[in-house]
């Protein structure tokens, strides 16, 4: 179902996710209110931590409270009355989290969904949260998923910081936007964009581990991240051939060195007298061969 929805909305995400190239060749008559829709990938930038929003309970939440130095944050930008794209993205996120290998919401990472509609009420956000967290298993703590609303100024500063470009259609009373999940480090630095409405569990896991800078996950995850790189077009991590070959070459040298060390150690440890006798033996044999 998610893959089907993904194909349906691909033309919408196309406007913003790929700034120009392929989509520009196909969509020549883009509506005026959709021309500014795009995702500028501002990797390495920090989000403003002094912004204040209201959560689904109506309580004030400072963005600085979301970053504890250990757990990464997955940020989505949505709104409750979105006719389809937000629903598809959040449904896909729930499916990805439900099948996430070993990592747990709230214990290992946070999800923050900020409304791009400044008129959004906490009551609507509470209903949104109930809809999605009710689908998660008990392994995931709903406290780890915040739904936030805020002023137009706060929303604008946040969307500018993460490169989320959208527009408002007053006639239809709706926001035109693309779909993107932004991975933030425990310090609030942008580490990855997942440009899809579907979330493959292993890709989601590696993105979170990568964003945490080793704070979550295990040694195997770090090893996989070293050998793989994120392929934005495929929306997943793919093997890095150069790194794998470099590792294989290094391993070959180490193994070869390890095998040869005992031989050289044994040779160097022979007593000088034994070595002299061995040389005399070889010399006598050579002399005999010469006389014959």
- Based on the domain organization, do 101 and 131 belong to the same domain? yes
How is 178-220 classified by DSSP, letter by letter? Answer: ---EEEE-TTSBEEEEE-SS---HHHHHHHHHHHHTTSSS-HH
Q: Report how far residue 107's alpha carbon sits from residue 137's, in angstroms, rounded to the nearest whole number.
A: 14
Residue whose C-alpha is closest to residue 73's, from 232, 155, 190, 163: 190
Note whether residue 231 is domain-resident. no
For residue 37, the SS3 value is: coil
For residue 70, the SS3 value is: coil
- Based on the domain organization, do 215 and 247 belong to the same domain? no
Give the pLDDT score at 237.
53
Note whether residue 130 is domain-resident. yes
Give the pLDDT score at 269.
57
Give the pLDDT score at 268.
58
- The residue out of 226, 260, 279 marking a domain boundary is 226
Give the pLDDT score at 187.
95
Give the pLDDT score at 196.
86
Q: Are 77 and 164 in contact (CB under 8 A)?
A: yes
Q: Report how far residue 265's alpha carbon sits from residue 273's, in angstroms, rounded to the nearest whole number.
A: 17
Note whether residue 233 is domain-resident. no
Q: What is the mean pLDDT of each run of 10 residues along the chain (292 residues)?
A: 43 41 40 77 95 97 93 97 94 94 93 98 97 93 97 97 95 93 96 92 91 64 48 56 43 52 58 53 50 44
- Based on the domain organization, do 22 and 138 belong to the same domain? yes
Q: Report how far residue 90's alpha carbon sits from residue 2's, in angstroms, rounded to the nearest whole number.
A: 10
Residue with tokens 């014959």: 292
- Based on the domain organization, do 107 and 199 belong to the same domain? yes
Number of domains observed in the structure of the chain = 2
Range of the domain at 258: 242-291
Give the pLDDT score at 51.
96
Q: Report how far residue 235's alpha carbon sits from residue 238's, in angstroms, rounded to the nearest whole number.
A: 9
């Amino acid at each position: 179902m998610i893959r089907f929805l993904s194909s349906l909305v691909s033309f919408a995400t196309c406007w913003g996710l790929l700034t120009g190239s392929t989509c520009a060749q196909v969509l020549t008559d883009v509506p005026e209110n959709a021309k500014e829709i795009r995702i500028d990938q501002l990797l390495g930038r920090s989000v403003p931590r002094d912004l204040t929003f209201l959560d689904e309970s109506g309580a004030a939440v400072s963005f600085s409270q979301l970053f504890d130095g250990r757990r990464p944050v997955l940020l989505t930008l949505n709104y409750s009355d979105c006719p389809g794209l937000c629903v598809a993205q959040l449904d896909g996120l729930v499916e990805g989290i439900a099948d996430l290998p070993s990592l747990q919401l709230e214990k290992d990472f946070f999800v923050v969904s900020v409304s791009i509609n400044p008129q959004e009420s906490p009551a609507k956000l509470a209903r949104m949260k109930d809809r999605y967290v009710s689908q998660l298993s008990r392994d995931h703590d709903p406290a780890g998923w915040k739904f936030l609303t805020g002023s137009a100024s706060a929303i604008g500063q946040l969307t500018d910081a993460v490169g989320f470009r959208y527009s408002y259609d007053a006639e239809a009373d709706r926001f035109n936007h693309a779909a993107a999940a932004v991975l933030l480090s425990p310090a609030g630095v942008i580490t990855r964009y997942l440009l899809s409405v579907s979330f493959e569990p292993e890709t989601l896991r590696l993105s979170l581990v990568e964003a945490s800078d080793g704070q979550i996950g295990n040694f195997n995850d770090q090893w996989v991240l070293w050998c793989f790189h994120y392929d934005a077009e495929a929306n997943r991590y793919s093997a890095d051939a150069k790194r794998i070959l470099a590792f294989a070459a290094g391993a070959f040298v180490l193994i070869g060195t390890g095998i040869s060390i005992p031989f050289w150690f044994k040779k160097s440890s022979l007593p000088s007298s034994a070595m002299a006798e061995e040389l005399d033996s070889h010399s006598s044999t050579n002399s005999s061969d010469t006389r014959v």
